[in-house]
Amino acid sequence: MRRQLGFLYRLKGRVCLTAGSLNAFFTCSELGTLTMAVGKNKRISKGKKGGKKKAADPFSKKDWYDIKAPSLFNVRSVGKTLVSRTQGTKIASEGLKHRVFEVSLADLQNDEDHSYRKIRLRAEDVQGKNVLTNFWGMDFTTDKLRSLVKKWQSLIEAHVDVKTTDNYTLRMFCIGFTKKRANQVKRTCYAQSSQIKQIRRKMREIMVTQAQTCDLKELVQKFIPESIGRDIEKATSSIYPLQNVFIRKVKILKAPKFDIGKLMEVHGDYSEDVGVKVERPAEEAAPEATEVIGA
């Protein structure tokens, strides 16, 4: 064959054609050879069996539910959550129960001063399209915790397991930092190990006292304004002055058996607003409808 013609060759069953010039031409016999070679290439002659399947929209089989926070927070509607619709033995409400949501306290209280605290809410019951939640723990944001730790001061931590009057078992973590005494010239304010032990003992005593004398709802109301931290600061001022004392974290270790009555006490009623029928006095007759002619 001429040099300007392409070379037709096979590599492992595949046909390749390289053209040396645009002016290349083929004879009848060469075209027949080319047609036979191309005809044997299954990739060119045949397409794939069956077209692509349309991807089903995963959200078409799911429903949105409203998340409701307990009444001890200012904002009740936290957000929405998704769950698959009821199919056969899989019930949608069962898939929602015990689901845990993490919400900023700033959103729950509508106050940006509480943005460093995260509240965990667990779904306890489903009524209609409302998911009723209850308090399930608390934590600090990482940036807030790291901003508290500084040089030239002692960090004191304590934790204790407590039981509320409504049989919730919690583990509370407290954190505090030493500060300079009044008129102190010295740069550092390190506490001695004996003083740290005394402060840690005081922290545990106050946390146990505050938790054992109230139920979970009242205890959460103490967490929000940091009243327990202020009590610890006052009690330990005679040992060593403290600053930035917080209940850093709360974990619920054990919860009592579910009671719908207690949950509704925490939440109140979420029934729809329905008008009340007003009874008209007997002597007051209903006004007659006037007909407008030509309207």
Query: DSSP characters for 172-208?
Result: EEEEEEE-PPTT---S-BPPPHHHHHHHHHHHHHHHH
| pLDDT > 80? residue 12 | no
Q: Is the dihedral of CA 185, 188, 193, 199 positive or negative?
A: positive
Give the closest residue to 232 by CA, choosing from 138, 156, 137.
156
Task: Kindly calculate the radius of gyration of the chain based on its CA atoms and give it in whole angstroms.
Answer: 37
Q: Which residue has the higher pLDDT, 72 or 18?
A: 72
* Average pLDDT value for residue range 62-70: 93
| pLDDT > 50? residue 272 | no
Contact between 163 and 174 under an 8 Å Cβ cutoff? The reply is no
Amino acid at 128: G
pLDDT for 88 equals: 80
Q: Give the distance, in angstroms, between the CA of residue 81 and the centroid of all CA atoms in the same chain.
A: 10
* Average pLDDT value for residue range 73-101: 89
Q: Kindly report the number of other CB atoms within 10 A of residue 175's CB atom.
A: 21
Q: How confident is the model at residue 58 (pLDDT cuts 50, 70, 90)?
A: confident
pLDDT digits (tens, 9 = 90+) for 165-218: 999 999 999 999 999 998 889 999 999 999 999 999 999 999 999 999 999 999
Of 40-44, 77-81, 85-89, the range with the lowest mean pLDDT is 40-44
In angstroms, the first-to-last Cα distance of the chain is 98
Amino acid at 254: K
pLDDT for 91 equals: 86
Q: Which residue has the higher pLDDT, 273 or 178?
A: 178
| pLDDT > 70? residue 229 | yes
pLDDT for 23 equals: 47
State the helix-helix crossing angle for 216-223 and 193-212, rounded to 10 degrees.
130
C-alpha span between 83 and 58 (Å, rounded): 11
* Average pLDDT value for residue range 54-62: 82
Q: Which residue has the higher pLDDT, 43 or 194?
A: 194
Q: Give the DSSP H or E segment for 118.
A: strand 117-127
pLDDT for 87 equals: 82
pLDDT digits (tens, 9 = 90+) for 115-134: 999 999 999 999 989 999 99
Q: How confident is the model at residue 21 (pLDDT cuts 50, 70, 90)?
A: very low
SS (H, E, C) the chain: CCCCCCEEEEECCEEEEECCCCCCCCCHHHHHHHHHHHHCCHHHHCCCCCCCCCCCCHHHHEEEEEEECCCCCCCCEEEEEEEECCECCECHHHHHCCCEEEEEHHHHHCCHHHCCEEEEEEEEEEECCEEEEEEEEEEECHHHHHHHCCCCECEEEEEEEEECCCCCEEEEEEEEEECCCCCCCCCCECCCHHHHHHHHHHHHHHHHHHHHCCCHHHHHHHHCCCHHHHHHHHHHCCCCCEEEEEEEEEEEEECCCCCHHHHHHHHCCCCCCCCCCCCCCCCCCCCCCCCCCCC
* Average pLDDT value for residue range 277-290: 59
* Average pLDDT value for residue range 59-68: 90
For the chain, what percent of residues have pLDDT higher than 90?
Answer: 60
Q: Which residue has the higher pLDDT, 275 or 257?
A: 257
Q: How confident is the model at residue 269 (pLDDT cuts 50, 70, 90)?
A: low
Q: How confident is the model at residue 284 (pLDDT cuts 50, 70, 90)?
A: low
* Average pLDDT value for residue range 143-161: 95
Residues whose CB is less than 8 angstroms from the CB of residue 21 and which lie 6 or more positions away in sequence, other chains included: 4
pLDDT for 10 equals: 46
Q: Kindly report the number of other CB atoms within 10 A of residue 155's CB atom.
A: 14
pLDDT for 93 equals: 85
Tokens at 83, concatenated: 């769950």
Q: Where are the domains of the chain?
A: 7-42, 59-140, 149-258
Superfamily (CATH) of domain 149-258 = Band 7 domain (3.30.479.30)
Average pLDDT score, the chain: 82
